[in-house]
Amino acid sequence: MFPQSISRRAFVPAAAGLAAAGCSARAPRAKSPVVILKAPSYSSNLFETMKQGAQLCRLDVRGKRVLLKPNLVEFDGQTCINTHPSVLAAAFELFQYLGAAQVMIGEGPGHRRDTMYLAEAAGYRQAVTGFDRLFVDLNLDDVTARTGFLKDSQIFLPNTALSADLIVSLPKMKTHHWAGVTLSMKNFFGLVPGAVYGWPKNPLHYAGIPKSIVELNRIFRRTFAIVDGVVGMEGNGPIQGTPKLCGVLVMGADLVAVDSTCCRIMGVDPSKVEFLRLAAKPDTDLGNLEELQIDQRGEAIGVVRKPFGLIREFAGLRLS
Amino acid sequence: MQAKAWAFTRRYFTWMSLSTQALFAGFLLSHQNKDGGWGFAPGRASWLEPTYYAMLALDGVPAHAKALDRAWNRIRSWQLPGGGCRPTDAVDQPGWTTALWIQLHCRRKVFDGKFHDALFWLTQARGDEGKLWRRLLHPFLKPEEGYLPERYGWSWFPETNSWVEPTVHSLLAMQSSLSHAEPLPRLMANTLKERVALGQHMLLDRRCDDGGWNYGSKTALRVPLPSYPETTAIALLGLQQASASDRQAACSKASQFHQQAESPLARAWLQLALRVHGETIAPAPDPTPAEGHPLLASLQMLGAQDGNFHLMRIDSRNS
């Protein structure tokens, strides 16, 4: 379903090069800093909390074009599907404060076509001054083909995301009825344009959700994550679950390490989550999954751990 | 430059106290790209979908003829060698917008070789669940309720499942072709009729428990899904030849959504679909074109009382 973009003739030397590269010794990956900070409610000073997190991560975004990517899926006033507007507003303020040349906000929801309505309903337009000017509907953005998706295929991606110097994933900490959990890596499904692939983005499901998550994260490597774990969602997420008060923000540049840390907070074993296992495999090497490879800063996991309810299909993911 | 032109147009039309239709037409004409198409936002690349809706919205007014001819040339340029159509220049893969391309050809009564290539492409396209191996495996895969693989429709993108919206547009394309592109070879006409029947069954099978439509499934992991207003509106467009009771039930749900929906895009699609079915729309203040949203403006213009909603009605002569 994703078009092939490499000829057999081109494949042979490319494969030989990859094999040669694979023979060389791989340098051990340095520990990845991941910051856990308490954020008891959305009325707490999230900007100051994030500022502290950015300092602990030694985040430098001066002069960069930053794209904030919240998780805006669907609106239901009775539950907590989307990244909270206070988290988005605080992140926007943070990256301006840190000296980014430009801070934009972009999202391509997988379930509804009227993205601006969702942004209004979710409170984003009220939370961020000048939202309409800053926001790009990634479902309808102009696109460019990129090769390298699923190794030999091409994928069409929004120009706004491709041209950003840094994409900041701002997911909600949630369970997911197909992937087990949805965090900063899965949030990149919203970078895939609905105008090409539809609503929902079914080719990603066909290619395999775990594989698609990994491939998108392989394409978008200049990233940072701030996970909204103040109130997450447990059970039948990402839409029909129930709110779960967790009281944390989790931040870091290694999205595999951030998501693995979130899993541990949620009482989920990250090594049993397929997309994280794939992402941390030596031949993929997107980031660190093991606790020993993560430089945990801020709060200890044990202090903030709040096991999330899991649906029967994912009961086996429970951290023992 | 375009923004300035639109600001001028808005002032001009307001001063002239012309109809809402003229106001919307001014908005659309001022946002037409130089290449003849429309983008999803002003100044962005042209895409087939917003160009399709803008062309229908502007149809029938002699003063728009020049703009429509430019748009028509743009539309024609999006067909790929295999007959299917790309959604925009940057994408070199055919997909669901082929159905929109065919509908515009029916409207213009252009039934040349390119039209037949596109129609053939559409008959070959199908939701992946319609493939034989999927149908054989289906009973062993814990199927979702209402998901009958032998009753498939069309996908957004090749080699994926059937979904409501591409299925509806493909139904409209095939029904329009049967009505207008006479004489179709008998084999082709029979294929179209067969696919129309299958597609309508698919739509009805996948209606949610609340009477409307989600994007393509009524359950996920056997948990019922809620319907959405815009998908319900689009499904209604595809049910023009369904039974009276099915149409009535769908119109009733769409009317309920129309009274409650806060999304302007959903309201515009609902209004259009309800008018196509001859339903009475509760009076509401005339909308004004949303800045930066040509697709929404086209839908609002099409669904207005004096809009071109009738262009989306299917003539049932041959289908």
**B265 and A140 in contact by Cβ < 8 A?**
no
DSSP string, A159-223: HHHHT-SEEEEE-EEEEETTTEEE-TTGGGGGGS-HHHH-SS-HHHHHH-HHHHHHHHHHH--SE
- Inform me whether the C-beta atom of residue B144 falls under 8 Å from chain A C-beta atoms: no
**DSSP collapsed to 3 states, B99-110:** HHHHHHHHHHCC
Burial of A53 (0-12, 13-18, 19+ CB in 10 A): buried
Which of A140, A147, A149 is the best substitution to test chain B (most B C-beta atoms within 10 A)?
A140
Burial of B241 (0-12, 13-18, 19+ CB in 10 A): middle
Q: Smallest Cα–Cα separation from A257: which of A230, A289, A227?
A: A289
Chain B residues within an 8 Å CB radius of A133:
none
**Strand, helix or coil for residue A146:** strand
- Give B208→chain A minimum CA distance, Å: 15
**B156 and A198 in contact by Cβ < 8 A?**
yes
* Residue type, position A276, single letter: L
**B166 and A236 in contact by Cβ < 8 A?**
no
**In angstroms, rounded to a whole number, what is the distance separating the alpha carbons of residues A61 and A165?**
9
Contact A65, A166 (CB under 8 A): yes
The ranges of chain B with pLDDT < 70 are: 1-18, 286, 316-319
Q: Phi and psi of B79, rounded to 5°?
A: -80, 140
* Stretch 219-278 of chain B: residues touching chain A, C-beta under 8 Å: 220-221, 223, 228, 230, 262-266
Fold of A32-317: Rossmann fold (3.40.50)
**B40 and A177 in contact by Cβ < 8 A?**
no
- 8-state DSSP, B63: G
Sequence spans of domains, chain A: 32-317
Chain A residues within an 8 Å CB radius of B156:
197-199, 202
ipTM of the complex: 0.91
**Strand, helix or coil for residue A250:** strand
Nearest CB to B265 within list A111, A113, A144? A113
Buried b (16+ CB within 10 A) or exposed e, B215-240: bbbbbeeeeebebbbbbbbbbbbbbb
**In angstroms, rounded to a whole number, what is the distance separating the alpha carbons of residues A84 and A62?**
26
- Inform me whether the C-beta atom of residue B156 falls under 8 Å from chain A C-beta atoms: yes
**H-helix segments, A122-170:** 124-127, 131-134, 159-162
Nearest CB to A195 within list B49, B158, B215? B49
Chain B residues within an 8 Å CB radius of A240:
223
Q: Phi and psi of B69, rounded to 5°?
A: -65, -40
Q: Smallest Cα–Cα separation from B9: which of B297, B235, B205?
A: B297
Nearest CB to B87 within list A117, A195, A203? A195
**B160 and A1 in contact by Cβ < 8 A?**
yes
Contact B228, B266 (CB under 8 A): yes
Angular region, A54: left φ>0, alpha ψ -120 to 50, beta rest = alpha
CA distances from A241 to A78, A237, B223 (A): 11, 4, 11
**B262 and A200 in contact by Cβ < 8 A?**
no
DSSP string, A30-90: PPEEEEEEE---TTS-HHHHHHHHHHHHT---TT-EEEEEE------TTS--SPPHHHHHH
Chain B residues within an 8 Å CB radius of A156:
90-91
B187 sits in which H/E element: helix B186-205
Going residue by residue through chain A, which has 320 residues, state the pLDDT in tens, using 9 for 90 and above: 666 554 444 444 444 444 444 444 556 679 999 999 999 999 999 999 999 999 999 999 999 999 999 999 989 888 999 999 999 999 999 999 999 999 999 999 998 999 999 999 999 999 999 999 999 999 999 999 998 888 668 999 999 999 999 999 999 999 999 999 999 999 999 999 999 999 999 999 999 999 999 999 999 999 999 999 999 999 999 999 999 999 999 999 999 999 999 999 999 999 999 999 999 999 998 999 999 999 999 999 999 999 999 999 999 999 98
**In angstroms, rounded to a whole number, what is the distance separating the alpha carbons of residues A238 and B268?**
28
Strands A242-252 and A294-298: unpaired
* Stretch 31-70 of chain B: residues touching chain A, C-beta under 8 Å: 39-41, 44-45, 47, 49
CA distances from B171 to A95, A96, A183, B118 (A): 48, 49, 38, 14
Q: Phi and psi of A268, rounded to 5°?
A: -115, 140
pLDDT tens digit sequence for B248-291: 999 999 999 999 999 999 999 999 999 999 998 877 776 777 77
pLDDT tens digit sequence for B74-95: 999 999 999 999 999 999 999 9
- Give B122→chain A minimum CA distance, Å: 16
Q: Which domains does chain B have, with CATH numbers?
A: 2-312 (1.50.10.20)
